Structure 1
């Protein structure tokens, strides 16, 4: 198998992964839309992450087969989904940190409203698209390759480190609070603290879910950033194009895996899936039985 065959096979593999990710994340959005327990601000950033995964999957197919005339602009558009995903995971860490910082849960509800979460999600998309698309229409400079090959991947690494550190801080706050309230001498006596305990438990469960997503995304996404830095240092690297497409395939595994993480970790999501999918089959079966029993229906 020559290099051209490897690159072509990687492109088809990337397309296959992106197609699977598209179907999976569309189903996730349908479940969220049809399940009232999931349509709350508690899952706001999870919905935004699903939109980012869907956007990336669709644009990956468009970029792979869009042709050389549109390859640059399509690359910058679909790669913006990468930054939306990173910043959404970071924003969820900030949101969970605020959730466990106020013992009075009413203060958190006043500070973090549904509308404000929507505004944050919209800003994440606007900033990500802007920093990716606008440079395409600016005259290229000599330092552009340095920025794309070294500076941008380094910034990505810093975002991952900041996010990981923030998640550790939230877990630390939850652990300390749990130890305090489980101490017989410091049992909570006020309703606000009891409500905060429930919120801390919910926060921990959702944060564990995002931690799994964080680790999975890091494993799938980092090879591409490493490749960017290596190819900047070794511009004559052999099989550069083939490695590029192969890291793209590995990158696209994250949007495929994330819906399964939701299924494994979130009870409400599993219940929503069963109601949506099984409900469709039940309605179809009921309609079929009624048509058979009705003598006026041929």
Structure 2
């Protein structure tokens, strides 16, 4: 099999995977939009990640069959949006478990500020990539794609992983402290912290699985960019590029299934919308979080 055949097969495979990912993430957005208990700032970065996955999947199809340098730059910007969103959620969860008083977290992390952060992530990512695409070819652009970008992504992954570990340790400390307190003397603040810790742990587990999936699917593309920068005459370079791009697109296809398994209320909201089979009650712990709007 020659390089041309590999590229053709990869293009069709990428298109099929991206089409499935597009449908899945559109359905996720519909579920979030139509399920009242999911429309809250608590899921703000999860919704932004879904938008990034949808954007990447749609642009992957567009670039595959109508590629241009500008289109490729816009397409790859969705990759950075996903990386930064996963990191932003780690910071958000760290803040959530750092404040003993729930009200202080709500004052600091408002819905408008979360929206502003999401918009900033999109603007910066798209602007950087489009600007590099319209500028004349230079060594900086080559170094950016082959060294700066992959190294930045790896550093972000490392920071995110360390941050998630720190948050899990803080959650464990809170849980131990609350379990050692007499149940009859538990204060209102302790109950709020207990609920917040429980829900933060669940959402953090969701994003941890997303982080692992993203790392496995995105790492080959980053490694390929670095290898191609060092060995510019690499045989089958374009074929390997298309194969790693196809592997990357698996992540947006897997993430909706992670939401289905782990996000409280998502499965029930999906069933109510599309199946109308039954309407199960939300667990009491989830109701408390829904009322606080974390």
Q: Give the equivalent residue in structure 2 for 1:128.
A: 125
- Aligned position for 1:158: 155
Q: For residue 135 of structure 1, report the CA deviation from its aligned partner.
A: 1.4
Gaps of 5+ in 1: 283-298
Match of 1:119 among 94, 116, 120: 116
Q: Give the Cα separation in 1 of the matches to 2:271 and 2:20.
A: 20
Q: How many residues are matched?
A: 278
Higher mean C-alpha deviation, range 91-100 or range 141-150: 141-150
Cα offsets for 1:196-245 (capped at 9, x unmatched): 11000000000000000000001000100000111111111111111000
**Residue matched to 2:88:** 91
Tell me the distance in 2 between the aligned counterparts of 1:117 and 1:217: 22
Aligned to 1:217: 214
Checking the alignment, whether the CA contact within 8 Å between 2:55 and 2:78 is kept in structure 1 is yes
Unaligned runs of 5+ in 2: 279-294
Q: For residues 186 and 31 of structure 1, what CA distance do their matches in structure 2 show?
A: 37
* Bigger Cα displacement from structure 2, 136-145 vs 243-252: 136-145
* TM-score (norm: length of structure 2): 0.91
1:148 Cα deviation after fit: 1.3
Q: Tell me what 2:202 maps to.
A: 205
**Deviation (angstroms), 1:247:** 0.3
Matched, 1:46 2:46: yes
The 2-side partners of 1:208 and 1:187 are apart by 30
What TM-score comes out, normalization by structure 1 length? 0.90
8 Å contact 2:19–2:58 — kept in the other structure?
yes
Taking the aligned partners of 2:40 and 2:178, their CA distance within structure 1 comes to: 28
CA distance in 1, matches of 2:198, 2:140: 48
The alpha-carbon deviation at position 267 of structure 1 amounts to 3.2
Report the equivalent of 2:174. 177
Offset at 1:56? 0.3
CA contact (8 A) 1:224 1:251 kept: yes
Q: Trace 1:1-298 onto structure 2 (pairs within 5 A).
A: 1-67=1-67, 71-184=68-181, 189-279=186-276
